[in-house]
Amino acid sequence: MNSKAIRLLKIALILTVVMANIGCDQVSKHIVRERISSADYISLAYNHFHLMKVENTGAFLSLGDGIPAPIKFVLLTLLPIVVLLGGLGYLIYQKKIATIPLIAACFIIGGGIGNVYDRLLYHSVTDFMHIGLGIFQTGIFNMADVSVSVGVIVFLGYYYWQGRGKKRAIVEV
């Protein structure tokens, strides 16, 4: 396969993974917006998994909810758009990047775009899932958050396992 065909295949992979993450996020949020009211609290899996609708106008765990609107727009919408588009451009134009980190980055970018899209369209992000297993309790999250988390975990796991096989240089002082 020639280099142009490989490049086009790589771009197709990037766009497919990013769009699949955005699609899963937006479809799930659409269903929640249409079928779950803010007063609903649905318990599943022996009361360990809950569905509810929360419109989050802040960042992770509603952090920054109270900051002024112009600053919030810059920090939670404009800056993420620049970073996500820059990351997408980097993935597309970077010639040498391993497949696993490439896919992990696509998950992160897809999740980020899903949440930024909500901020642009609805001025909030729809969160709707909560996990509670004894003392382990999550905040309320959505599929975009799952995408970002999976991407970060895959990145960390990949680079951890890559580093285990290499000898580390010891610097003596």
Point out the catalytic residue in the list 25, 40, 65, 145: 145
| Whether 65 is catalytic | no
| Whether 25 is catalytic | no
Count other C-beta atoms under 10 Å from residue 45's C-beta.
10
Nearest-angstrom CA–CA distance, 140 and 143: 11
The contacts of residue 88 (CB under 8 Å, 6+ apart) are 14, 18, 109
Ramachandran assignment for 123, one of left (phi > 0), alpha (psi -120 to 50 degrees), beta (any other) = left
Active site residues: 127, 145
